[in-house]
């Protein structure tokens, strides 16, 4: 028995869950009861396998007699892949608890085929079997990527993951927007995969063959190493949603069913991050500081732009997708800092930065999955994704609202929740710049850190907006006013993640002790200083430099509440209810509330050049002084589309037109092409 066996079980379980789901079109219960419970077991096994590898810090390898004749499948489970396997497992467990309730939506639609063709609503005729099958393959693909120990297995698993998630994005294909999103996703994912293949090719060229061991042993000149790094950053960055390669992400993630969105945003992006870490820190080894600076710069841009775009969204799921872009940026910042510190000869500080990035990957997986599941719960009960049509859900769906609140706290990086710990660690890593000898780096890194602070503050604004508009205030539509709480399974899925948000925030020292074998494996040193004063104190560099004690923060908060309860609440008479202040005009109604658009308006004005804003007011005027109607149009778009992709698209089209000229349609001319090619080849050979 070894952790690798458990990992096989997890992969097999995920595949099996897909197979079981094939019966779902005839017996819907097969998906609900069978497929999801097997998926849940696969998740638990994945967590167990990953946890085992992490706790023991061992690395187990195996060769399976499949694949190409000269290249068997190499598999390996070490602390790094174990860590990410545990992340995948956690999200999969939550999804398998949540899924059975959520997919009822699609069952119901199959039976009661009501014609309410709303863009956001799931449509009829969707095959449940397809949903379950592709979910299983998707999860198995992600797990297999983590296990791969040669480029061949890696690419096969990577493609399984990409293609099955493409099919899941296209699941609700009645909606043209979803089809478009899915196509865009597949196109960019394939370009990314090609570039990753090229990156592996560079390494394999020096290493002799496609196993990761050979690649580790390869000695590359700095120029070739840089080339491999750039290719890897581009390829994995494409999948992770790095700006400006992120355009597919806000289209594709919301299009999938919510529990799949949760997996894609929460976990699949982390698999891309895993790929980058594996490639740069393990396969390439010795990162150069210039790579770090590049990654830091791109990460900073990704974080700031991601959150600014998120803030402008009114569609809840789209907003969450953009916020994933932001968090990927934060992770990249941590990785960039790590490369800078390692590249300039400060591996201990590099370990702190790497730890921050890993911790944030875990945290983001937990809270983003939670938030997507919460958004799914809202969608399930209200059939609304538009924030400006929600409102007051804290009274209708109290449990979902509570879990969402925890998710919002975590993503807004508020102490003592988990998002705060990892952002604090990233900032602490950035603060260690005095150790660097280059003054230019010393003055640039603080700017990046200040932009991280800006990102955090804007993320707080974003999630105040989300929570305030969707869950607080008064309901804005009839559907929302009559929403009910979701079922037990869905609540359990969210509750598990919410609990993890709190635990990961309150006892960071234990988590860090748990993940330090990763830095041990990659850098051959562990940040022992981080937990030097016991589990109560987190001290990333040394107790003298900085410390944070989340348990004591919680204790102090509890003390305040206790004192408030004993001194104030218990003694006072119960509160009287009354109308809020309405300026004396009377009759506040739901339409007078601040909307999501209104909330974001000041920031939209301050950072106006960041977006492509189309804002105008249509007035229909009947006479000189009277308007019969006024309409305010606002369209806020992402620059990257028109600034990067449209020009590339035009270029490709123009090139295609040029090339197209050789297609004359005459068969004799085609024969002539072949003839001349043959002549050329013969000449080349001789």
Partner 1 sequence: MHLSELSLFSQGILVSAALVLFTSFVMLAQARIQPLIYAFAWQGALLSITTALVALVSGHTHLYISALLTFGLKALLIPWMLYRLTRRLHIQYDVEIVAHPSLTLLGGAVLVVFCYYVALPIAQLSTLVTRNTIAVSMATVLLGMLLMISRRTAVAQVIGFMSIENGLFFAAVASTYGMPMIVELGVAFDVLVAAVLFGVFFFQIRTSIDSLDVDRLNRLSERGE
Partner 2 sequence: MADNLNGWLWAALQTLLFIGGAPLLAGWIKRLKCHLQNRAAPSLLQPYRDLAKLFAKDLVLAHDASWIFRVTPYVVFGAMLLAAAVVPLVAIPLPTAAIADVIVLVGFFALARFFQALAGMDIGTAFGGMGASREMTVASLAEPAMLMAIFTLTMTASTTNLSVAIQYILNAGLVLRPSFLFALLSLAMVAVAETGRIPIDNPATHLELTMLHEATVLEYGARHLALIDWAGMIKLMIYAVLISNIFLPWGIARHLTLPGLALGTVAVTAKLALLAVLLALWETVLAKMRLFRVPQFLGFAFVLSLLGILTHVILESAL
The minimum distance between CB 208 and partner 1, in angstroms, equals 41
Window 164-183: residues binding partner 1 (CB under 8 A) = none
DSSP H or E run through 64: strand 60-68
Q: Binding mask 424-463 vs partner 2 (x if CB under 8 A, - otherwise)?
A: x--xx--x-xx----x--xx--xx-xxx-xx-xxx-xx--
Q: Which stretch binds partner 2 (CB under 8 A): 35-43, 249-257, 421-429, 479-487?
A: 421-429
Given partner 1, partner 2, none, residue 576, with its beta carbon under 5 to 8 Å by kind, binds partner 2
The minimum distance between CB 609 and partner 1, in angstroms, equals 7
Of 113, 208, 532, 594, the one binding partner 2 by CB under 8 A: 594
What is the phi-psi region of residue 413: left when phi exceeds 0, alpha when psi lies from -120 to 50, beta otherwise?
left
Window 603-632: residues binding partner 1 (CB under 8 A) = 609
- Closest Cα to residue 38, out of 95, 118, 114, 119? 95
Residues 243 and 302: beta-carbon distance below 8 Å: yes
CB-based burial label for 668 (10 Å; 0-12, 13-18, 19+): exposed
Given partner 1, partner 2, none, residue 454, with its beta carbon under 5 to 8 Å by kind, binds partner 2
Q: How far apart are CA 379 and CA 480, in angstroms?
A: 10
Residues 202 and 268: beta-carbon distance below 8 Å: no
Of 40, 287, 391, 493, the one binding partner 2 by CB under 8 A: 391
Q: How far apart are CA 317 and CA 336, in angstroms?
A: 29
- In the complex with partner 1, the residue whose CB is nearer, 440 or 617, is 440
What is the phi-psi region of residue 125: left when phi exceeds 0, alpha when psi lies from -120 to 50, beta otherwise?
left
Residues 543 and 528: beta-carbon distance below 8 Å: no
Of 23, 588, 634, 644, the one binding partner 2 by CB under 8 A: 588
Given partner 2, partner 1, none, residue 609, with its beta carbon under 5 to 8 Å by kind, binds partner 1
The minimum distance between CB 293 and partner 1, in angstroms, equals 13
- In the complex with partner 2, the residue whose CB is nearer, 3 or 392, is 392
DSSP H or E run through 621: strand 611-623
Q: How far apart are CA 500 and CA 417, in angstroms?
A: 10
Residues 470 and 67: beta-carbon distance below 8 Å: no
Largest Cα–Cα separation, the chain: 101
Given partner 1, partner 2, none, residue 573, with its beta carbon under 5 to 8 Å by kind, binds partner 2
Window 604-633: residues binding partner 2 (CB under 8 A) = 605-606
Q: Binding mask 444-483 vs partner 1 (x if CB under 8 A, - otherwise)?
A: x--x------------------------------------
The minimum distance between CB 443 and partner 1, in angstroms, equals 5
The minimum distance between CB 228 and partner 2, in angstroms, equals 33
Q: How far apart are CA 123 and CA 128, in angstroms?
A: 12
Q: How far apart are CA 532 and CA 528, in angstroms?
A: 7
Can the peptide bond before residue 244 be classed as cis, meaning omega within 30 degrees of 0? yes
- CB neighbour list of residue 487: distance below 8 Å, 6 or more residues apart: 101
- In the complex with partner 2, the residue whose CB is nearer, 124 or 603, is 603
Written as one string, the DSSP assignment of 278-334 is IIIIIII-S--HHHHHHHHHHHHHHHHHHHHHHHH--BHHHHHHHHHHHHHHHHHHH
- In the complex with partner 1, the residue whose CB is nearer, 447 or 563, is 447
Window 521-560: residues binding partner 2 (CB under 8 A) = 537, 543-549, 552-553, 556-557, 559-560
What Cα–Cα distance (Å) separates residue 234 from each residue in 146, 186, 198, 246, 299?
A: 19, 16, 11, 11, 12
- CB neighbour list of residue 237: distance below 8 Å, 6 or more residues apart: 192, 245, 272, 276, 298, 332
Q: Binding mask 194-233 vs partner 1 (x if CB under 8 A, - otherwise)?
A: ----------------------------------------
Window 425-444: residues binding partner 1 (CB under 8 A) = 439-440, 443-444
- In the complex with partner 1, the residue whose CB is nearer, 442 or 616, is 442
583 binds partner 1 (CB under 8 A): no
Given partner 2, partner 1, none, residue 305, with its beta carbon under 5 to 8 Å by kind, binds none
Q: Give the helix ranges, DSSP H, for 432-487.
A: 439-470, 478-481
- Closest Cα to residue 258, out of 313, 307, 320? 320
- In the complex with partner 2, the residue whose CB is nearer, 64 or 562, is 562
Of 111, 125, 524, 573, the one binding partner 2 by CB under 8 A: 573
The minimum distance between CB 455 and partner 1, in angstroms, equals 17
The minimum distance between CB 635 and partner 1, in angstroms, equals 23
Q: What token pair was written down for 661?
A: 């000229």
Of 68, 201, 566, 582, the one binding partner 2 by CB under 8 A: 582
Residues 322 and 638: beta-carbon distance below 8 Å: no
- In the complex with partner 1, the residue whose CB is nearer, 444 or 613, is 444
The minimum distance between CB 610 and partner 1, in angstroms, equals 12
Given partner 2, partner 1, none, residue 602, with its beta carbon under 5 to 8 Å by kind, binds partner 2
- Closest Cα to residue 270, out of 85, 433, 459? 85
Radius of gyration of the chain (CA): 26
- In the complex with partner 2, the residue whose CB is nearer, 127 or 547, is 547
The minimum distance between CB 592 and partner 2, in angstroms, equals 5
- Which positions lie near partner 1, rule CB under 8 A? 439-440, 443-444, 447, 609
């Amino acid at each position: 028995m070894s952790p690798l066996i458990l990992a096989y079980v997890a992969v097999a379980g995920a595949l099996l869950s897909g197979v079981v789901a094939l019966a779902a079109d005839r017996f819907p219960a097969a998906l609900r009861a069978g497929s999801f419970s097997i998926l849940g077991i696969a998740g638990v096994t994945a967590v167990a396998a990953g946890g085992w590898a992490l706790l023991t810090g061992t690395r187990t390898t195996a060769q399976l007699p499949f694949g190409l004749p000269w290249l068997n499948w190499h598999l390996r489970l070490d602390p790094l892949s174990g860590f990410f396997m545990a992340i995948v497992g956690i999200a999969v467990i939550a999804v398998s608890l949540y899924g059975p309730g959520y997919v009822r939506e699609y069952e119901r639609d199959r039976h009661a085929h009501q014609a309410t063709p709303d863009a956001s609503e799931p449509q009829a005729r969707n095959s449940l079997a397809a949903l379950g099958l592709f979910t299983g393959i998707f999860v198995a693909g992600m797990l297999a990527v983590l296990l791969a120990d040669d480029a061949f297995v890696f690419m096969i698993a990577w493609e399984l993951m990409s293609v099955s998630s493409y099919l899941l994005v296209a699941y609700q294909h009645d909606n043209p927007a979803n089809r478009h999103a899915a196509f865009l996703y597949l196109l960019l994912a394939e370009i990314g995969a090609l570039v990753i293949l090229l990156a592996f090719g560079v390494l394999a060229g020096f290493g002799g063959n496609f196993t990761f061991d050979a690649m580790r042993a390869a000695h590359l000149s700095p120029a070739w190493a840089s080339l491999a790094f750039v290719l890897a950053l581009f390829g994995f960055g494409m999948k992770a949603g790095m700006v400006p390669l992120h355009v597919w992400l806000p289209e594709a993630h919301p299009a999938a069913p919510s529990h799949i969105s949760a997996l894609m945003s929460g976990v699949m992006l982390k698999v891309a991050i895993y790929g980058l870490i594996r490639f740069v820190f393990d396969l390439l080894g010795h990162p150069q500081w210039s790579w770090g600076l590049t990654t830091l710069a791109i990460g900073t841009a990704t974080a700031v732009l991601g959150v600014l775009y998120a803030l402008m969204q009114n569609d809840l799921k789209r907003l969450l997708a953009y916020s994933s872009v932001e968090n990927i940026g934060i992770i990249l910042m941590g990785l960039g800092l790590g490369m800078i510190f390692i590249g300039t000869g400060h591996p201990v500080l590099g370990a702190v930065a790497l730890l921050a990035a890993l911790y944030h990957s875990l945290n983001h997986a937990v809270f983003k999955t939670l938030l997507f599941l919460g958004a799914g719960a809202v969608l399930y009960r209200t059939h609304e994704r538009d924030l400006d049509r929600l409102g007051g859900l804290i009274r209708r769906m109290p449990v979902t609202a509570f879990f969402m609140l925890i998710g919002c706290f975590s993503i807004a990086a508020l102490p003592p929740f988990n998002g705060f710990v990892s952002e604090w660690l990233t900032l602490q890593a950035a603060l260690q710049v005095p150790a660097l000898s280059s003054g230019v780096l010393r003055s640039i890194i603080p700017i990046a850190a200040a932009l991280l602070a800006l990102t955090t503050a804007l993320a707080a604004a974003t999630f105040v907006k989300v929570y305030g508009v969707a869950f607080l205030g008064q309901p804005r539509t009839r559907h929302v006013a009559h929403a009910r709480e979701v079922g037990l399974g869905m609540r359990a899925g969210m509750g598990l993640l919410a609990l993890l948000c709190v635990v990961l925030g309150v006892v960071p020292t234990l988590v860090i002790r748990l993940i330090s074998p990763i830095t041990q494996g990659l850098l051959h040193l562990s940040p022992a200083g981080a937990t030097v004063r016991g589990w109560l104190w987190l001290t990333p560099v040394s107790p003298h430099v900085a410390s944070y004690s989340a348990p004591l923060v919680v204790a102090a908060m509890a003390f305040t509440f206790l004192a408030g309860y004993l001194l104030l609440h218990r003694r006072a008479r119960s509160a009287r209810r009354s109308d809020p202040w309405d300026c004396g005009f009377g009759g506040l109604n739901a339409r007078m509330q601040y909307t999501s658009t209104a909330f974001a308006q000041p920031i939209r004005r301050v950072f106006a050049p960041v977006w492509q804003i189309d804002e105008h007011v249509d007035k229909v005027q009947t006479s000189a002084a009277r308007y019969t109607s006024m309409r305010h149009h606002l369209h806020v778009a992402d620059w990257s589309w028109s600034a990067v992709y449209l020009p590339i698209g035009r270029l490709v089209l123009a090139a295609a037109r040029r090339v197209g000229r050789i297609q004359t349609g005459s068969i004799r001319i085609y024969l002539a092409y072949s003839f001349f090619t043959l002549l050329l080849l013969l000449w080349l050979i001789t």
